[in-house]
Structure 1
């Protein structure tokens, strides 16, 4: 059973779910820098901005670290909270006056199974 995290999240539902997927990828990068020494983990490949196939490079790197997203293990001395499954003690959903919902003990699964369709 996953350990509980005391965080409270407020999630505003939007029609475009790609923002949540982008958030997950960004969170992995931020956690890597926060829990690491500020250097890029050895499991990551740095993509050059001048690479004509930059989008493909980024997609390949994300596919390569997909197991690490679930486990939170990014190499020696680089442990972060695993994101799959990810327990949330309390979640508040607010979509204006038409829909509001409070949820307790939510477990999000499948975060590491996202698919990158296009990078802009």
Structure 2
């Protein structure tokens, strides 16, 4: 696995962090007292999607700077101490001190909530993202070996994510909760560029060749990595979603009135 995979993971994580943070926070109420600046949307509201979108826009300035009382980190910049992708064999990439800029310019392009079937359809776009980090990678993508450690700079433009989250109601201690059971993701990145310094222990010729390959064969690399990215991100999103919802009953997340 390569640093390109890692960059795609970061793109995806940012998209779905925004989705989970905005949609879930816009619904949540009560056991963990929700501040007055979060607009609660009722499940019987015939315009619930519009209500959620309005809530997202009201939350945007606070998402930029973070909401410490709800453990929501700042989006601008978004700082990730470590990102690890490892699948055994020639399949490992680690990013540390990852700083991402541009995530606060997200736009929710689609939102449909089917509370009878507990299905959520969400789309989001981010025009431009930049990444600065330290990388440590030992991997192979297609036929290209990538090995080294050092600084990385990358950017991605027109990042688009579509997700379908499916949930079910579960009983715990006499209360009804919602649990996300599956996710379908479709991720598209229109363009990207990436530069890794100090590849192959500073071998300039090899390092330049790999950087050229990563940037000149974008469609092939993205096509090869897309299924793996979507699978890994899906697992992450389900975990995040269920960590959020386990603290609130169904009626607290989706009040009638």
Coarse TM-score class (shorter-chain normalised): 0.5 to 0.7
* 109 and 96 in structure 1: CA distance in 2 versus 1, 3 angstrom threshold: farther
Q: Deviations over 1:2-44 (max 9, x none)?
A: xxxxxxxxx7957xx5x753432424656xx8xx971221101
The answer (yes or no) to whether the contact 1:83–1:112 under 8 Å persists in 2 is yes
Unpaired segments ≥5 residues, structure 1 = 1-10
- SS of the residue corresponding to residue 45 of structure 1 reads coil
Offset, 1:68: 0.4
Which deviations, in whole Å up to 9, do the C-alpha atoms of 1:44-72 show, x marking residues without a partner?
Answer: 11111111111111011001110101112
Q: How much does 1:92 deviate?
A: 2.3
| CA–CA distance in structure 2, aligned partners of residues 107 and 12 of structure 1 | 12
* CA shift for structure 1 position 118: 0.9
Say which structure, 1 or 2, has more relative contact order (CA 8 Å, 6+ apart). Answer: 1
Matching residue of 2:81: 89
Aligned length: 101
Q: Deviations over 1:51-96 (max 9, x none)?
A: 111111101100111010111247xxx3643232122222224589
TM-score (norm 2): 0.32
2:99 partner SS: strand
TM-score, normalised via structure 1 length:
0.61
Q: Is the 8 A contact 1:90 1:104 kept in 2?
A: yes
Contact 1:88 1:105 in 2 (8 A): yes
2:40 is aligned to 46
Q: 1:13 to 1:98 in 2, by over 3 A?
A: farther
Q: Give 5+ residue unaligned stretches, structure 2.
A: 1-5, 113-257
